[in-house]
Amino acid sequence: MLGEILFQQEINKELIKEILFDFHKNGPVNNSHLETLSYLKKYNEEEFKKYEGKLMFLMGLFYKTDNPDTFLEVIYDIYAKSIIEETGHNFTPVQADAYNSIKKYTNFSFSAPTSAGKSFLFQELIKEAKGDIIIVLPSRALLSEYLIKVKNLVSNETLVLQFIEIVNTKRTKKRIYIITPERGEEIFRNIDKLNLELILLDEAQISEEGIRGMKFDSLVRRIDKKLKILKKFSRILSF
């Protein structure tokens, strides 16, 4: 049945209206609807463009929207502008909720699919921070990727290192340390010399995995115990 609908020359208007209404009522949480929309766009690209603007509004992808064309889109556009006014960022509702929680609470864990925009939220937190940042990664395999990405985010006045040392202090305004749990001890040896503002714990769900998880979990517990005044943001991915 789905195949017959998707290969029609014209989009089934009732079907797409049903999906859009469900997104408006419940949010884009139905994977079946998302799959259907993907196929509708693939096989009916030109006609699908008629609905794409409204779809972006209903999915909360405000950074992909243009001027609203309908009353419903105007309502969502007002919502989008209120997010920018409140957070200073062009966030989706999910990102805005996480961002506000991070600002409100000392500890915060964020579990969401890859499409939720966690990486963009990470980037904005890094760019906003005025003090030193520590990013804890689960393995050395991710170090090179993170070093490149973070260096591209910040100015030359920010020192980005994969070990915790207090160097080049006269020429840098802040420092970002990207480490694995094995280097966690360096945090506590240098704590009095750091101007720590934020600790980001990436892939924190690995604390449930064997030896590697035990090391990560031990570091998280020590950070929580000794650095309670710092904000810590733990990104937990779910697949």
How do residues 153-170 score in pLDDT, each as one tens digit? Answer: 888 888 888 888 887 777
pLDDT > 80? residue 216: no
For range 17-30, the mean pLDDT? 85
Q: Mean pLDDT check: name the lowest of 79-83, 190-194, 213-217.
A: 213-217
Is residue 113 within 8 Å of residue 238, measured between CB atoms?
yes
pLDDT at 82: 92
pLDDT in tens, 136-147: 887 777 788 888
β 158-161/107-112 pair status = unpaired
Residue type, 117: G
Is residue 180 within 8 Å of residue 140, measured between CB atoms?
yes
pLDDT > 60? residue 119: yes
- What does the mean pLDDT of the chain come to? 80
**Alpha carbon distance 152, 147 (integer Å):** 9
State the alpha helices, DSSP H only, in 27-166: 31-43, 45-58, 71-87, 93-104, 118-128, 143-153
Phi, psi (5° rounding) for residue 118? -65, -35
